[in-house]
């Protein structure tokens, strides 16, 4: 029983690598084209979607305690606040 020897064509590996690189390039070009399509042609839709997703109303109990300084002097009385605003632009 003799073992069969495998012969590799000297051009088979570079050919496979070229096909793999071509496939990766095609996938990246497709991805870039899709992103450009979404950002250029449908910019208004995604801006509206972002604006509505950024505005969320959260109801919280906001009774605060009293605040004292180091000497024990009252700085702030307990007050009930009904609204809290958060500006994402001011957060760093």
Q: How does pLDDT run across 3-57, given as a tens digit for each residue? A: 666 666 666 678 889 999 999 999 999 999 999 999 899 899 988 888 887 777 7
Mind listing the pLDDT tens digit for each residue in 58-74?
Answer: 776 666 677 778 888 88
Radius of gyration for the chain, computed over Cα atoms and rounded to the nearest angstrom = 32
pTM of the predicted structure, to 2 decimals:
0.43
Alpha-carbon distance 42 to 23, whole Å? 28
Pick from 38, 75, 82: nearest CA to 60: 82
Contact 60, 71 (CB under 8 A): no
Extended beta strands in the chain, E state: 67-68, 74-76
Q: Is the dihedral of CA 40, 45, 48, 52 positive or negative?
A: negative
89 — pLDDT class (breaks 50, 70, 90): low
Pick from 61, 35, 56, 62: nearest CA to 46: 35
């Amino acid at each position: 029983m003799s073992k069969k020897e495998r012969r590799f064509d000297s051009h088979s590996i570079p050919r496979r690598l070229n096909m793999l690189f071509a496939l990766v390039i095609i996938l990246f070009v497709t991805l870039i084209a899709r992103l450009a399509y979404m950002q250029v042609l449908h910019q208004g839709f995604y801006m509206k979607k972002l604006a509505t997703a950024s505005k969320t109303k959260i109801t919280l109990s906001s009774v605060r305690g009293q605040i004292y300084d180091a000497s024990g002097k009252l700085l702030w009385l307990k007050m009930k606040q009904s609204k809290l605003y958060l500006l994402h632009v001011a957060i760093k």
